[in-house]
Amino acid sequence: MSIKSNGLIVASAIVAMSVGFWLSTIQQERTSEAENKKENAIAQARKNFSPIQGAILSPARKISVPALIKDNGQVFTSDDLKGRWHFLFFGYTHCPDICPVTMGVVARAKKNAKAVNHIFPDVVFVSVDPERDNVELLAEYVQYFDKDFIGVTGSKDLIKALTLQMSVVYMVAPQKADKALAVSEDSDSGSYTVDHSSALLLINPEGKLVAFFNPPHDPKTILKDFQTVVNLSD
């Protein structure tokens, strides 16, 4: 084979490789562009589905609060949730992390709202650990974060009746479940933990559940999302 023929073969191979690379690059760019469009479409769909970090209920969910007990010993019912906006958070005073962090964030959000003369929901902390959280302990706990925060407790059956209406899930950690059932008899049973939902539940002035604010919580997002719900409710 002549040198000239060899040169043509090499040149053809180089051209073919170049064309292949070019086509591959175009395909990758088209794939990347398609993926970006898909991600943007998903992000927009999520934004359209819920303009907050959580979910807005439409229509708002009517709830019936059983006769629970506030940290001052008075009865807490559905009437206590009417006339003003409220945040409900379900947790327990022995919680090592989620509860104190969330309550601290909500307290800061309230301070930020007051600093600019904006309204802020009343805050109600509902215990999912009535075996340990008596009214005295609840009062001390919630007022550590803000003097106007309200603690609420009640029997296990009544707490369960409320959480079922509000899509709140909680359970005693399995490894301590047996001890938790014997809390009044076993002094060591106080070491158990309770797994629970960590959303803030927003109640409108009609006393209806209108939104879930999902974690991670921060003051800026809480204020922004609350204002969004208020604007949509007007």
Nearest CA to 204 out of 57, 52, 50, 54 is that of: 57
**Packing angle between helix 219-233 and helix 98-115, nearest 10 degrees?**
60
Q: Which domain holds residue 44?
A: 1-49
Residues 72, 184 within the same domain = yes
Could you give the number of structural domains in the chain?
2
Residues 102, 206 within the same domain = yes
- pLDDT (tens place) for every residue of the chain, 234 residues total: 555 555 555 555 555 565 555 666 666 666 667 666 766 555 454 455 679 999 999 999 999 999 999 999 999 999 999 999 999 999 999 999 999 999 999 999 999 999 999 999 999 999 999 999 999 999 999 999 999 999 999 999 999 999 999 999 999 887 644 544 444 444 345 689 999 999 999 999 999 999 999 999 999 999 999 999 999 987
Dist CA 120 CA 26 (whole Å): 53
Tell whether the torsion through CA atoms of 98, 99, 100 and 101 is positive or negative. Answer: positive
User: Prior bond to 216 cis, omega within 30?
Assistant: yes
Helix ranges (DSSP H) in 57-182: 98-115, 135-145, 156-165, 177-181
Residues 72, 44 within the same domain = no
Residues 115, 3 within the same domain = no
CB-facing half-sphere around the CA of 1: CA atoms within 13 A = 7
What predicted TM-score, i.e. pTM, was given to this entire model?
A: 0.74
Domain boundary among 49, 69, 88: 49
Dist CA 219 CA 234 (whole Å): 23
**Cα–Cα distances in angstroms (integers) from residue 133 to residues 35, 60, 128, 167, 185, in the given order:** 51, 30, 8, 22, 16
